[in-house]
């Protein structure tokens, strides 16, 4: 098990990750694309992205279990806090601009033919294509774009509201032009944020409640429409032959499957066995034991099933156990540090993960945004004003999690963990840690699947050995989502997927305001003025060097605060697939590319069926 994501995060961030070593959003005059810092890779007359096959055939079906940590769904409204939205809904909605997955933060014209950012970055104006249409044939205009902004900021998921905090208005200049106005000092990413918002139909929502869950098929303008579905079992999407933007450069060679189908299984073992029996086509494997042992089958030996290791150059993000600091027993940093010392990654990796993982050290792992060694002079310039509010270790070597002896119960580390708990006021009495009020230190890990229980078994044993009364509670996915949204837990496992150019979304992950907002992604409840200030430095960075300095300084503070118990990562994706698909010669550097760049190969499928 590795890439766990906060609810709905994958779908939302799909519209936010882009690179670009570019000319920047501050250029004068309309542009065919935007990026945060430098020149755009693709010129105005580009025909297609390099990571597609422009002549890929259309047809066939791709059935998968997807990549998001979702085990059920009960809604087709992915824009609000209520409900559990289905996977794949993002393929129904167009955006003003589309991401380039081989650049860190670049986007190119989709609904918008061009964008112009004011020299002072206080506004961005988008000129729309007159041919843009919703799936019912109605025109997509600037009025719809402005309506989308207004409704998402007023009633949308807290993630949207956080990102749009400094966007003051969307103004319709004419039916095909809209201007966004920005405020504050953190302006760098706002043109990219608004350029990648899904566009909703104002007319459609004139007769429907936006802030309610629903299983009514939504009206979008994207390459797919909703097909068959059964809540909690599967959902399918059908490619639209009449999709208005299918021949644009940003879409050429993409969205090739006639049908996308996402299967839902509440049990990973059942999903694996169904896949091997041919019930669906492709799965990304997140369980190391299964990748190492479960595919020793005839289909693989005969070449009918392929096992692919796809490199992943994107940041692996921050994955770990996150203790809920809103609860008094976890508010003391020494308690959280003790939890870190009790987790034996070396034993876990060897005995459960078959040595396939590397220990996560940083909130910006697998990227050059990660802090290492002692702070540079530039980092110190950002940190020194807060010296009195920070642990001394922030100013030394960047904190790394302990390395155990691999025994499963490293006595030296457990003794140190016990010492820290004692310092924090939790003494041992009758084998249990109690405080001065006689309260017992009890922790409950909240999970949804048996794989997590297996991983936690050794960790629980260590915590109990130092007197922490620990349990693992497995609940159904719907209940899990409710408890996560209301912060009703002690410790959960999750992963924060980060962009190569992180920005305002960091406030939703680790900002103080998000810590107080129900349904936010700040699961641990990080509430620190210093973290807030350094997030501001990240979002204000005007060059990639400034960005690196700010993220590294932030990384030091987060790591020294012991806000998590870091877990593990791998810089590649494990993909198992029946051999019925074609794929481009070049994989997009920062994305899997499977759903939107692969295609159904009828000849291979026929051979597979013949066997």
DSSP states along 574-596: EEEEES-EE--SS--TTS--HHH
Q: For the chain, how are helix, strand and coil distributed in percent, rounded to 5?
A: 30, 20, 50
Tokens of 600: 């159904």
Q: Is the pLDDT of residue 13 over 50?
A: no
Assess contact for 100 and 42: CB atoms under 8 A. Answer: yes
Residue 63 has a pLDDT of 96
Label residue 8 by pLDDT band (50, 70, 90): very low
pLDDT of 23 above 50: no
- Residue whose pair of structure tokens reads 């690196």 in the numeric block: 548
The pLDDT of residue 522 is above 90:
yes
Task: Evaluate if residue 174 carries a pLDDT over 90.
Answer: yes
Q: What is the DSSP letter of 396?
A: S
pLDDT at 226: 98
Query: Higher confidence at residue 1 or residue 582?
Result: 582
What is residue 361's predicted lDDT score, i.e. its pLDDT? 97
Task: Among 63-77, 136-150, 446-460, 481-495, name the one with the lowest average pLDDT.
Answer: 63-77
pLDDT at 273: 95
Cβ neighbours, 10 Å, residue 387: 11
pLDDT value of position 433: 97
- pLDDT tens digits for 474-519? 998 889 989 999 999 999 999 998 888 998 889 999 999 999 999 8
Residue 66: the pLDDT is 64
For residue 286, pLDDT beyond 90:
no
Whose tokens are 């996150």? That residue is: 322
pLDDT classification of 69: cutoffs 50, 70, 90: low
pLDDT digits (tens, 9 = 90+) for 353-387: 999 999 999 999 999 999 999 999 999 999 999 99
Instruction: Show Cβ contacts of residue 328 under 8 Å, excluding neighbours closer than 6 positions.
Output: none
Tell me what pLDDT residue 185 has: 82
* Local confidence band at 255 (pLDDT 50, 70, 90 cut-offs): very high
Cβ contacts of 256 within 8 Å, gap of 6 or more: 56, 57, 58, 59, 597, 598, 599, 600
Q: Residues 568, 360: contact at Cβ < 8 Å?
A: yes
- Measure CA 280 to chain center: 24
Other C-beta atoms closer than 10 Å to the C-beta of 319 total 24
Q: Which of the four pLDDT bands, split at 50, 70 and 90, describes residue 215?
A: very high
pLDDT for residue 246: 97
Mean pLDDT value across residues 167-179: 98
DSSP 333: H
> What's the pLDDT at 1?
42
Q: What is the pLDDT of residue 21?
A: 30
The answer, yes or no, to whether residue 289 has pLDDT greater than 50, is: yes
Smallest Cα–Cα separation from 329: which of 401, 246, 426, 413? 426
Give the residue-averaged pLDDT of 533-542: 94
The pLDDT score that the predictor gives to residue 451 is 83
pLDDT of residue 28: 58
CA quadruple 189, 191, 193, 195: dihedral sign: negative
What does the pLDDT look like over 79-136, one tens digit per residue? 998 998 999 999 999 999 999 999 999 999 999 999 999 999 999 999 999 999 999 9
pLDDT at 547 over 50: yes
The CB density around residue 251, as the number of other CB atoms within 10 Å, is 20
DSSP 70: -
Does pLDDT of 156 surpass 60?
A: yes
- In this prediction, residue 492 carries a pLDDT of 97
Q: In what order do the strands lie in the sheet with 282-284?
A: 224-230, 234-239, 259-263, 61-64, 282-284, 572-578, 305-311
Indicate the average pLDDT of the chain.
92
Q: Where are the domains of the chain?
A: 362-400+498-564
The Cα–Cα gap between 370 and 565 comes to: 17
**Cβ contacts of residue 167 below 8 Å, gap of 6+?**
149, 153, 180, 181, 182, 190, 193, 194
Q: Indicate the length of the chain as a whole number.
A: 611
Look at residue 372 in the predicted model and tell me its pLDDT: 96
Q: Which CATH class is domain 362-400+498-564?
A: alpha beta
Interatomic CA distance for residues 325 and 572, integer angstroms: 32
Nearest to 520 by CA among 159, 163, 166, 211: 159
| Across 125-129, 288-292, 496-500, 543-547, least confident range | 496-500
- Whether residue 152 is predicted with pLDDT greater than 70 in this model: the reply is yes
> Which band of pLDDT confidence, cut at 50, 70 and 90, is reported for residue 267?
confident
The mean per-residue pLDDT over the stretch 544-559 comes to: 97
Which has the minimum average pLDDT: 191-205, 209-223, 323-337, 597-611? 597-611
What pLDDT does 4 receive?
Answer: 41
**What pTM was estimated for this model as a whole?**
0.79
User: Over the stretch 396-434, which tens digit does the pLDDT of each residue have?
Assistant: 999 999 999 999 999 999 999 999 999 999 999 999 999
């Amino acid at each position: 098990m590795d890439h766990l994501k906060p609810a709905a995060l994958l779908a939302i961030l799909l519209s936010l990750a882009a690179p670009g070593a570019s000319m920047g959003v501050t250029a004068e005059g309309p542009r065919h694309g935007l990026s945060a810092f430098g020149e755009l890779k693709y010129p105005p007359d580009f025909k297609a992205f390099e990571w597609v096959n422009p002549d890929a055939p259309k047809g066939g079906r791709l059935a998968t279990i997807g990549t998001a940590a979702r085990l059920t769904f009960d809604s087709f409204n992915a824009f609000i806090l209520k409900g559990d939205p289905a996977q794949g809904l993002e393929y129904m909605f167009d955006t003003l601009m589309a991401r380039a997955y081989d650049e860190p933060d670049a986007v190119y014209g989709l609904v918008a033919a061009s964008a112009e950012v004011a020299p002072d970055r206080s506004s961005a104006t988008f000129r729309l294509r007159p041919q843009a249409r919703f799936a019912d044939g109605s025109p997509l205009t600037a009025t719809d774009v402005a309506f989308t902004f207004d409704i998402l900021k007023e009633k949308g998921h807290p993630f949207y509201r956080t990102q749009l905090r400094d966007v003051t208005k969307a103004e319709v200049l004419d039916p095909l032009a809209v201007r966004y106005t920005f405020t504050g000092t953190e302006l760098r990413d706002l043109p990219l944020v608004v350029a990648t918002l899904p566009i909703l139909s104002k007319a459609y929502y004139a007769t429907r409640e936006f802030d309610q869950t629903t299983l009514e098929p939504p009206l979008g303008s994207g390459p797919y429409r909703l097909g068959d579905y059964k809540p909690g079992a599967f959902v399918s999407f059908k490619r639209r032959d009449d999709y208005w933007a299918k021949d644009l450069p940003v879409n050429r060679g993409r969205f090739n499957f006639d049908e996308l189908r996402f299967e839902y299984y509440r049990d990973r073992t059942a999903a694996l066995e169904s896949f091997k029996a041919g019930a669906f086509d492709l799965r990304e494997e997140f369980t190391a034991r299964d990748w190492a042992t479960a595919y020793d089958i005839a289909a693989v030996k005969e070449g009918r099933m392929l096992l692919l290791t796809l490199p992943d150059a994107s940041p692996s993000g921050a994955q770990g156990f996150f203790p809920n600091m809103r609860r008094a027993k976890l508010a003391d940093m020494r308690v959280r540090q003790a939890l870190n010392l009790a987790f034996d990654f070396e034993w876990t990796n060897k005995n459960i993960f078959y040595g396939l993982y590397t220990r996560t050290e940083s909130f910006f792992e697998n990227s050059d945004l990660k802090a290492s060694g002692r702070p540079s002079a530039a980092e110190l310039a950002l940190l020194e004003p807060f010296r009195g509010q920070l642990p001394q270790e922030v100013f030394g070597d960047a904190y790394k999690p302990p390395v155990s002896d691999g025994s499963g119960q490293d006595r030296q580390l457990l003794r140190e963990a016990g010492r820290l708990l004692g310092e924090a006021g939790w003494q041992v009495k009758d084998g249990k840690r109690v405080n001065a009020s006689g309260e017992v230190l009890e922790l409950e890990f909240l999970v949804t699947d048996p794989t997590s229980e297996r991983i936690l078994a050794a960790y629980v044993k260590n915590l109990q050995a130092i007197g922490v009364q620990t349990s693992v509670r497995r609940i159904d996915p719907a209940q899990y989502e409710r408890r996560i949204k209301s912060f009703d837990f002690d410790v959960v496992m999750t992963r924060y997927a980060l962009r190569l150019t992180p920005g305002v979304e960091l406030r939703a992950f680790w900002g103080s305001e998000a810590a107080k907002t129900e349904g936010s992604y700040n699961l641990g409840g990080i509430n620190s003025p210093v973290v807030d200030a350094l997030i501001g430095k990240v979002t204000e960075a005007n060059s990639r060097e400034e960005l690196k300095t700010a993220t590294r300084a932030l990384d030091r503070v987060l790591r020294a605060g012991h806000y998590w118990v870091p877990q593990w990562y791998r810089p590649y994706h494990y993909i198992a697939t029946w051999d019925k698909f074609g794929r481009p010669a070049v994989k997009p550097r920062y994305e899997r590319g499977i759903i939107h760049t692969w295609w159904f190969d009828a000849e291979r499928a026929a051979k597979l069926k013949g066997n």
